[in-house]
Structure 1
Amino acid sequence: MTFTSRFAPAIPLLPLALAVMLANHAAAQSTNPAPSLNKVVIAGETIQSTTENTQVISTTEVEKNQVRSWDDLVRYTPGVDVDDSGRFGSTGFNIRGMDGDRVAITVDGLSLGETLNPASNAPYEFFSAGRSGIDVDAMKAIEVIKGADSITAGNGALGGAVVFVTKDPSDYLNPTGNDTHVGIKAGYSSANEEGLVTGTLANRTGSFESLLVYTQREGHETESFYSGKRPNIAGTAREIPDPVDFDNDNLLFKLYFNANENHRLGFVAERYNGNTELNNLTRVSSAYLTRTSDDKTERERYGVNYLWKANNPFFDELDARYDYQESYSLGHTLMTVPTGCPAGANGPAVAPCYRTEHRDFDQALHKALLHFDKKAGDHSISYGVSAEKKSVDYTDVKTRYVGTTSEVGVGWPQLGSDFVPNTDVEVYSLYARDQVALVNNRLLLNAGVRYDHYKYSPQGGAQFSDKSGTVGEVTFSSPTWQLGASWNLTPEHVIWAQAGGGFRAPTVENMYFSPSTSIATVVATGQQVDLWNTVSNPNLESEESRNIEVGYRWQGERHILGVSAFRNKYSNFIDYASFVRNADVEYQTCNAGGTGCSNFFGDTYEMLDNIGEVTVEGIELEGRWAITDDWSARLAWSWTQGEEKDGTPLQSIMPNSGVVGLAYDAPNGRWGVNTNFVRSANKSIEDTIPVNDFNMTAIPTDYFASDNGFTVVDLQGHFNVTRNFKINMGVYNLFDEEYIRWQRIRFANQGSAAGGARGGISGDGINRYTEAGRNYKITLAYDF
């Protein structure tokens, strides 16, 4: 089954955008030469991080590395990975061992939302709401922040943050005067047969600037090393990935009105629509004769913004903005099952029969922000206030059919119980940061504070049951801070240190995941009562991190070498714990027939609580060397280890990894070539001890570890055929290495196809998690 976009009835952005753009293009009379993308400057879009271990990935790097996905984005950034969640793709980034909602992801200051994937339901893979819905071709810069920095990214920046900044018209246009830029890019990737086309149109006519970026992608499953080498069988022993067809498109539109040099009014609209169809052959078993899915991810955003260069005593610039964003995730599963088949309106039950699970999660966000910047002597001050209102809505529809027809069985469809209640969340935030340069700019100090206040208001609903009475309105606050200093010992030698904190507010799933109860009899009185099994915790607090990092940097005219060491301590980790109430009360429960009864004292139940503590420490190395005017080299390495309070290794820690790169750029600038050696250590069996950390690991029956490290070599090149026509090419995994990444198999286990995580593995089924062998990408870009 295929579902059309639920945002389709919204404002027809593409015709509107094209009309505005083409009108401006017709009015423009520019004779300027073909422009190129200007140097990236992140200003006015977000609070730039002041942490020393921050990497900004520009559009130039995205193009050179032919980035197609989040995996590609951080391929050459040791210490940063992307977590794989199987059928539903990525759950987000992993930075220094923190992942999922513990790493903030924002686009122009807007959070991508929160995940919904209850641990008790995850092994069946019927539904998972991750954080996605953006396309890298619409971004002019991506800021990867290692370590806590809630001043910049807010909620979720517990272990770090990834800050996306969308493109602007001025990135393509000359600084002044009427101008127009038109660009088209086409690309192909052999690993998943992805084809992409991106069109870019930027224009300035008088006081108006506009931009339209549209990208469309289509492809299939990413190959494993064994694709084409192993038979196309079904079941847990399958050694090649399940067949996948995907297509997505992304639209970014911006329009600015520059009233004068001090006032600018802007409008922005984004729309992402992604669809993935999967033939889940690894799940085929006696329980599922067939299993296919049709999943959808959508994100839509509209915003207005106002920039005022006031230069008054209180601020030099004011950035005021309002944004509305809606994120939608759908998991639709169609199965052929041998039992549990319903009768039809005019006939008996027929087996086998179709069964569908239709689950979706909708998040709507309104955010208003006032951000101020002020330069006062040696001080660079930023401060602001924001208000957010978010609503979440979950739906579960189950349907059974008469045989393998489209006739719905008697009594179906049925609404399933909601994972979470419909909930409104209000957030109010204040923040301030100051950077001051002293001692002739040799000493740089920075300090920041932030305060966030949360209010959760669950609305319940007919499909959400709370017999425990523990679900209710909750408020709490999260103050955080940051301090840092860097000292130029000499013009070439710098030492620096920083300390700070981050926080992660509980998600709606953490706060209110469906409580469950059971009926028992109080022996002393004969009264029937509801015993708690799992309940909500109204006293849940945000998770917190405290990090300390020191570093040294040696920088000359042709080289830079930096080394840093960090120690992060995380507290208030949210995890399930067992509790007992009414310990002195004797209860009795009996089976359905009343023939078997048991007595016990106390009501034992599970509840999420702030009980976990984790320590992560590591060392990172980064160096670049301009060997000659044409040759350059790069080195980066990350070593990280982490454990819980009791010494249990933290499974979300990725293996130590590094990159060595060598690049040549011809003197005329027309062509260049670079190679990267990507090295990853192994994930030892001793570091994969099963633990029960909520949203950090599953508890499969058996674990697989990447026993051997690997080295992968990538070779890339670019060639400017003309000033307007450019080609980027790359061969990845040049020497056809067979390898498995830990983040791909972290949740894989031996088990049944019906209930095992990722469908379970038997025989040599682990081979389907190997990475693609030698593969290539090519991108053609033309500007006019």
Structure 2
Amino acid sequence: MSLPTIQKTHLALAVMAIATASAQAEETLPSTQPTLLDQVTVSATRTEQTLDSVASSVDVTTADDIEKRMANDINDLVRYEPGVTVTDDGRTGAGSFNIRGMDANRVKITVDGVDQAKAFDSTKMFLRSQRNFIDLETIKAVEVVKGPASTVHGSDAIGGVVAFVTKDPADFLKPEGDDSYASLKGGYSSADSAFSETGTLANRSGDLESLLIYTRRDAKETQTHGGADVNGDARGEADPKDIGVNNVLGKLQYQLSDAHRIGVTAEWRELKSDTDLLSMVGVTPEGNDAPYEKFIAKDSTQRKRIGVFHDWEAFNSAFDTLHWSLNWQESETNQITNDKMGVNTETRRGFPERLETQERKKDYLYKETSWQFDLNMAKELSIDSVSHLFSYGLAFERKEQNNLNKTTYIQDTKNEGEEISRYAPKATVNSVGVYLQDEITLLDDRLTVTPGIRYDSFSPKTETDQYYPTEVKDKSYDNWSAKLGSVYKFTDIISGFAQISQGFGTPDMFAMYFEEKVPGIVHVKPNPNLKPEKSESIEVGLRANGSLGSAELTFFYNQYDDFIEQVYLGRNSQYRAGIYQYQNLDDTTIKGVEFKGNLWLDEAVGAPMGTSLKTAIAWSKGKGTLTDASGSLLENEPLNSIAPLTAVIGLGYDAPSENWGGELMWTLVAEKEKDDISQNDTAADETRPNGDQFATPGYGIVDMTTYYKPVKDVTLTAGIFNIADKKYWKWDDVRGLSSTYEGLNRYTQSGRNFSVSVKWEI
């Protein structure tokens, strides 16, 4: 599939969709069917708005979308969202979100407004922490805010926001009066042999509402396309894996009076996995002449949260509405790796020369514990016939970060030695943010202008001990962020929007203090003098929203200063693989264009009522500063975090009876062209001796999902994915790998697979 073909086809669809919507501008009848732009977002402005009234691009996925598309994890969640991807490394599974080329901790993830733990990736398989602590069975909506959003969400929103909103008791109950609800849901996915079971209970007794959701998942490894690798006999199948997940969400909410509502929320999620890393058997570990004889991983992640909130509808002189919440959260990643390898005959790590093998156990722990307080208020005023909606508030967070790396060397079932260390010091970070925003409505509600400003302050305090004895100087950071957005309605159907916004991100503790010395191999140096990352974004677009459907065309340009990247500083006889350090780099830019649309075919061409055509396309281009093999800075290098051109076309049908329907989705991804890949992002990577990264070929895959309600309270859902059994790779999973790497097949996506589920509501 060539890139020009996709561009011509889908830009034509974009123009056609907007043109047909414009032709309806004179219609006086309102649309009778909801469109993409009728969906509601809160994360974009902190106030409830429909998508066609905000000055930025936002994607909203509802619980109904999640169920009908059979999304089981965050990878599935963004399957049909061009411009948004999720990385997956096999052992730790689905990790962080990538929005328009910004990934990892540059994308803020929240659950009910509570910041989620940060990711850490040392490039070592035994030393990673991901950010996937969410079970989609408890999620009511997911909002993806694309581009810098620090004015509303503070630090870490430099690349965008993924905001999860959990289900409430009211989502299952009648609007008024006492009521009860119960449901059981079971599902199976062939891609990872996963069984899932979910039980839901909701109740309203007087003014008290309650909710309890429990989900159990048991799965195996996600299958690759299988077979031996095309470049050799290396393992091309996924490593065997056993996964068990428990997830609980509980809520109690009480209506004290017409003006006051209080509630408490409790969440607990635990994932445990055992992986037999067969792909590592026979591999020669770095710094050792003999290969691995075994490689076993036992990993676990856990997140616990308890929170309280209070909603107050006061309508006094200071505010109309007030919402405050206080949340305690603890997130923990524990990775245990057991490996056995041969050793050199020379003395190694103090072992006697008589030892011919060496068994090692690495136990890595990363934990974040936080207290988060949020206060948000809103006040609507009319001043000189101009409407104002002021929103303002503050956020305080106290976060404790802790990591511990314990390595035990074993011989003849006896512990022969032990090393305990921290890769970064224990730290407590206090942060405070204050924001003010005004939504100004002018010209008989045709023009909305939204200025906003925020101040953030961060004060980390590190703690040295015997495991990290190096004294470090703590640094505090503060920052002002601003934005200015506007939406203008040219007609009742056509509107335009534009926004200038700033982003801000503090340096991660690991980037500042992580240090590793492997004698004779590599040295990763700390850099406590890192400056915060900053960004400026310009976004403009055109929207159409009418009886035929909706469409949105968006252009964006983002510029980043003091971009934090790990750079190569050269090599010497002491560290032959090289010396690395995180540093601030300038001149990083990302630009692109996106389109999404929903056309009601019953209105447009007389198709059966409930038939729709959905389209989406995303294209981005990024340039930045990197280092080459000599350690010299290179400007205008391609950013390898940018995904190839992607488009999705979907034909959907929902029967007017709401008893059955389905979707046929066609995903098209262009090849990753070699001139769009920087070969210098990891200059000393020994898997790419010729600097030749693997460039993913283009592909097209077709999925189909359907649902049917044989009786009122039972819903059957089924889906078949990758119907044509296409072999393909996702760019985010393989970027940095050599085109001659023998394990490439291990990164392929699943071939033809299916999912089924049944839900019984009582």
Q: TM-score range by the shorter chain?
A: 0.7 to 0.9
Distance 1:501 1:43, change over 3 A: closer
Query: Deviation of residue 750 (structure 1)?
Result: 7.1
1:90 is the counterpart of 2:94 = yes
Q: Does 1:571 find its partner at 2:561?
A: yes
1:409 aligns with 2:415: yes
1:513 correspondence with 2:514: yes
Which residue of the partner structure matches residue 503 of structure 2? Answer: 502
Equivalent position SS for 2:152:
helix
Q: How does 1:286-685 map to 2 (within 5 A)?
A: 286-339=290-343, 351-377=356-382, 378-403=387-412, 407-410=413-416, 412-415=417-420, 417-466=421-470, 471-514=472-515, 536-576=526-566, 608-628=582-602, 629-645=609-625, 646-685=635-674
Instruction: Please state how far the C-alpha of 1:278 moved relative to its aligned partner.
Output: 0.7
Matches of 2:326 and 2:45, distance apart in 1: 14
Separation (CA, whole Å) in 1 of partners of 2:558 and 2:375 = 31
Displacement after TM superposition at 1:220 (Å): 0.7
State the distance in 2 between where 1:607 and 1:710 align. 37
Conserved? CA contact 2:44–2:56, under 8 Å: no
Letter in 1 for 2:392: Y
The CA distance in 2 between the partners of 1:621 and 1:698, in whole Å, is: 40
1:736-755 equivalences under 5 Å are: 736-749=725-738
Match of 2:277? 280
Q: 1:292 to 1:216 in 2, by over 3 A?
A: same
Using the TM superposition, give the Cα deviation of residue 147 of structure 1 relative to its aligned residue in structure 2, in angstroms.
Answer: 1.0
Aligned amino acid, residue 623 of structure 2: E
SS of the equivalent of 1:114 reads coil
Counterpart residue type for residue 611 of structure 2? W
Tell me the CA shift for residue 51 of structure 1. 4.1
C-alpha distance in structure 2 between counterparts of 1:559 and 1:43, whole Å: 22
Paired-residue identity, %: 31
CA distance in 1, matches of 2:423, 2:477: 23
- 1:729 and 2:728 matched: no
Instruction: State the distance in 2 between where 1:310 and 1:243 align.
Output: 57
CA deviations 1:446-494 (Å, max 9, x no partner) are 121111101111101101142xx5x221101122111111111111211
Distance 1:640 1:428 in 2: 34
Q: Give the match's secondary structure for 1:381.
A: strand
For 2:176 and 2:392, the matched residues in 1 are separated by 30
Tell me, in whole angstroms, the C-alpha distance in 1 between the residues paired with 2:698 and 2:490: 39
Counterpart residue number, 1:137: 137
Q: Could you tell me how far 1:559 is from its partner in structure 2?
A: 2.2
Residue range with higher mean Cα deviation, 553-562 or 540-549: 553-562
Whether the 8 Å CA contact 1:575–1:693 is kept in 2: the answer is no
Find the counterpart in structure 2 of residue 755 from structure 1.
none
Q: In the TM superposition, what whole-angstrom CA distance separates every residue of 1:68-90 from its partner, at most 9, and x where no partner exists? A: 11111111111111122342223
Of 240, 243, 247, which aligns to 1:243? 240
Deviation at 1:105, TM superposition (A): 0.8
Q: Is the 8 A contact 1:83 1:99 kept in 2?
A: no
1:745 CA drift (Å): 0.9
Per-residue deviation, 1:349: 6.7
Q: Return 5+ residue gaps in structure 2 as ranges.
A: 1-37, 283-289, 603-608, 626-634
Query: For the structure 1 residues 73 and 779, does the alpha-carbon distance in structure 2 shift closer, same or farther, using more than 3 Å as the test?
Result: same
Distance 1:294 1:517, change over 3 A: closer
CA contact (8 A) 2:55 2:498 kept: no
Give the Cα–Cα distance (whole angstroms) in 1 for the partners of residues 479 and 682 of structure 2: 22
C-alpha contact (below 8 Å) 1:730/1:777 kept by paired residues: yes
Q: Give the whole-Å Cα distance in 2 for the aligned partners of 1:143 and 1:172.
A: 21
CA contact (8 A) 2:292 2:341 kept: yes
Aligned to 2:754: 776
Higher mean C-alpha deviation, range 571-580 or range 279-288 = 571-580
Look up the match of 1:33.
none
Call closer, same or farther: CA 1:688–1:605 in 2, change over 3 Å: closer
AA aligned opposite 1:630: G
2:265 is aligned, of 235, 251, 268, to 268
**SS of the residue aligned with 1:137?**
helix
SS of the equivalent of 1:721 reads strand
State whether residues 153 and 163 of structure 1, in contact with CA within 8 Å, keep that contact through their aligned partners in structure 2.
Answer: no
Paired amino acid for 1:675: L
Question: What is the match of residue 17 of structure 1?
Answer: none
How far apart, in 1, do the equivalents of 2:121 and 2:152 lie?
A: 27
1:497 deviates by 0.8
2:26 matched to which residue of 1?
none
Deviations 1:560-593 (A, max 9, x none): 222111111111111356899xxxxxxxx999xx
Distance in 2, matches of 1:750 and 1:317, equals 57
Closer/same/farther in 2, CA of residues 693 and 504 from structure 1, 3 Å limit: farther
| Alpha-carbon distance, 1:547 to partner | 0.6
2:395 corresponds to which letter in structure 1? S
Judging changes above 3 Å, is the alpha-carbon distance between structure 1 residues 693 and 455 closer, same or farther for their aligned structure 2 residues?
A: farther
Q: Deviation digits for residues 755-776 of structure 1, max 9, x if unmatched?
A: xxxxxx32xx312221111111
Corresponding residue SS for 1:510: helix
Partner deviation per Cα, 1:194-235 (whole Å, 9 max, x = no partner)? 111111111111121111111111111111122xx559x9x9
Match of 2:6 in 1: none
Shift of 1:174: 1.2
The match for 2:187 is 187
TM-score by length of 2: 0.84
Aligned-partner Cα distance in 1 for 2:266–2:233: 44
* Aligned position for 1:81: 85
- Contact 1:236/1:283 (CA < 8 Å) preserved in 2? no
**TM-score normalised according to structure 1 size:** 0.82
**1:621 CA displacement:** 1.1
Farther off after superposition, 682-691 or 83-92: 83-92
> How far does residue 279 in structure 1 lie from its aligned partner after superposition?
0.6
Aligned-partner SS, 2:744: helix
Q: Say how many residue pairs are matched.
A: 682
CA deviations over 1:658-716 (Å, ceiling 9, x no partner) = 1111112223221112101100001112222223479xx99854544344211111111
Secondary structure in structure 2 of the residue aligned to 1:312 = coil
Q: How does 1:17-32 map to 2 (within 5 A)?
A: none
Structure 1: runs of 5+ lacking an equivalent: 1-38, 519-532, 581-588, 592-603, 752-760
The question of whether the paired residues in 1 share the 8 Å contact of 2:151 and 2:435 is answered with yes
Q: Aligned pair in 2 of structure 1 residues 514, 142: CA closer, same or farther (>3 Å)?
A: same
Q: Distance in 2 between matches of 1:714 and 1:650?
A: 30
Report the CA distance shift for 1:699/1:301 in structure 2 as closer, same or farther (over 3 A). farther
Q: Give the direction of change, closer, same or farther, for the CA distance of 1:326–1:707 in structure 2 (3 Å limit).
A: closer
Residue in structure 2 matched with residue 101 of structure 1 by the alignment = 105
What are the within-5 Å matches in structure 2 for residues 33-72 of structure 1? 47=46, 50-72=54-76
2:158 aligned with 1:161: no
Deviation at 1:554, TM superposition (A): 2.3
Letter of the 2:589 partner, please give it: T
Corresponding residue SS for 1:409: strand
Change (3 A) 1:273 1:698: farther
